[in-house]
Amino acid sequence: MPLDNSYTIFFEKKFQKALDELPEDIKSVFKAKMDYFRSNPKHPSLNTKPYAVSPKRLKQLGVDQVYEFYINRKDYRCVFYVIHESKEIIIAYIGNHTQINKF
Amino acid sequence: MIMSTKTTQKLSVQDLILYILNKLEPEKSDKIRVNKLAFFTEFAFLNRFNQPLSTAEYAGIDLGPVIDNYDVILKGMQKDNLIKMDGYKIRPLASPSVQLSPEYSAFVDNIIEKYSVLPKNILIEISHLTDAYKITTKNEEVMGNKIDKKLAILETFLLDNDEESPTNEDELPNINRSQLVQYATR
């Protein structure tokens, strides 16, 4: 099922704290990227890519698919989950690879 | 220890055009392609290295992003015997006066190679999709303005993102649905 702007975007409350801790320039780019993301999750400037995640792990997470898009030069990325039936997108985390364990 | 050296010297707009022309096959050597490759290369370079590749400036017109005043620049280059123009076709008569470092030339050559094989209409279409162009032209309502090179930070899609994701699937965070809130622009 293609991703489009009919999906509602959610994030966990703790995500706001992680967002606040990002460098200012990354925060600014993230907000710009999210504007595109809301209009089209597969907007070309996002370079959205699916993750190869096993069915077992997807079931554990309670989602259908996992994607990511890069915020800036591969250092910072945003990983999000998709639940097609309820048309939900859940921002899982934003940050570089070493920051994922904070979530 | 061997240290990598990077040139800090920016290419002039003429050198950038010559660099691109010298990489193109004759049948692909035309005004539109040169303009598109210059823009893609410059903005990908800025995005990757956080510094401009050249002194070229770019403008948003109905054909998409192009080198600002490219017609005047090309005519000047022809007058100086740097290029030969035949209608839309352009061939180089000289090499760039500045050499890029191996790291930079590898990056630039990769972008040129990646996009030069595409048909002109696709290059135009892709260039219309860039954030820098959309923002500059206010979604194609205002033409002729110069494109702010700072907008290159948004053009991640120009880069190759073929690297394997380093994230192990077990590291993907679990979500507590009771803690979810809807995202809204603040």
Model pLDDT for residues A24-56, shown as the tens digit of each residue = 878 888 888 888 888 888 776 677 888 878 888
pLDDT of residue A28: 83
Q: How far apart are the first and last CA of chain A?
A: 28
- Tell me which residue in B157, B167, B182 faces A10 most closely, judged by beta carbons: B182
pLDDT digits (tens, 9 = 90+) for A54-68: 888 999 999 999 998
ipTM score assigned to the predicted complex: 0.84
Residues whose CB is less than 8 angstroms from the CB of residue A84 and which lie 6 or more positions away in sequence, other chains included: A1, A64, A65
Average pLDDT (A5-23) is: 86
Q: Nearest-CA residue of chain A relative to B130? A: A45
pLDDT of residue B5: 39
Q: Of chain B residues 109-128, which have a CB less than 8 A from chain A? A: 126
- Closest by Cα among A71, A1, A28 to A80: A71
Q: Is residue A81 within 8 angstroms of chain B, CB to CB?
A: yes
- Tell me which residue in B156, B175, B183 faces A92 most closely, judged by beta carbons: B175
pLDDT of residue B183: 86
Can you identify the CATH homologous superfamily of domain A8-95?
A: RelE-like (3.30.2310.20)
- Tell me which residue in B130, B156, B177 faces A70 most closely, judged by beta carbons: B156
Tell me what the pLDDT averaged over chain B comes to. 87
pLDDT of residue B35: 97
pLDDT of residue B7: 52
Average pLDDT (B58-81) is: 97
pLDDT of residue B186: 44
Q: Nearest-CA residue of chain B relative to A58? A: B169
Does the structure show a pLDDT above 90 at B86? yes
Dist. CA B111–CA B122, nearest whole Å:
15
Average pLDDT (B16-41) is: 95
pLDDT digits (tens, 9 = 90+) for B87-121: 999 999 999 998 888 889 888 998 898 888 888 98
pLDDT band for position B164 (cuts 50, 70, 90): very low
Task: Report which listed range, A98-102, B6-10, B108-112, is most confident.
Answer: B108-112
pLDDT band for position B165 (cuts 50, 70, 90): low
Q: Is residue B2 within 8 angstroms of chain A, CB to CB?
A: no
CA distance B124 to chain A (A): 14
Q: Is residue A30 within 8 angstroms of chain B, CB to CB?
A: no
pLDDT of residue B40: 96
Does the structure show a pLDDT above 60 at B166? no
Q: Where are the domains of chain A?
A: 8-95
pLDDT of residue A91: 94
Backbone phi, then psi, for B150, in 5-degree steps? -65, -20
Burial level of A52, CB count in 10 A (0-12/13-18/19+)? exposed
Please state the pTM of the whole predicted model.
Answer: 0.62
A-B CB pairs within 8 A amount to 101
Q: Nearest-CA residue of chain B relative to A35? A: B185
B130 to A45: CB separation less than 8 angstroms, yes or no: yes
A10 to B174: CB separation less than 8 angstroms, yes or no: no
Residues A96, B166: contact at Cβ < 8 Å?
no
Does the structure show a pLDDT above 70 at A84? yes
Dist. CA A81–CA A92, nearest whole Å:
6
Does the structure show a pLDDT above 60 at B162? no
CA distance A85 to chain B (A): 16
pLDDT band for position B4 (cuts 50, 70, 90): very low
Chain A residues near residue B126 by CB distance under 8 angstroms? 44
Does the structure show a pLDDT above 70 at B160? no
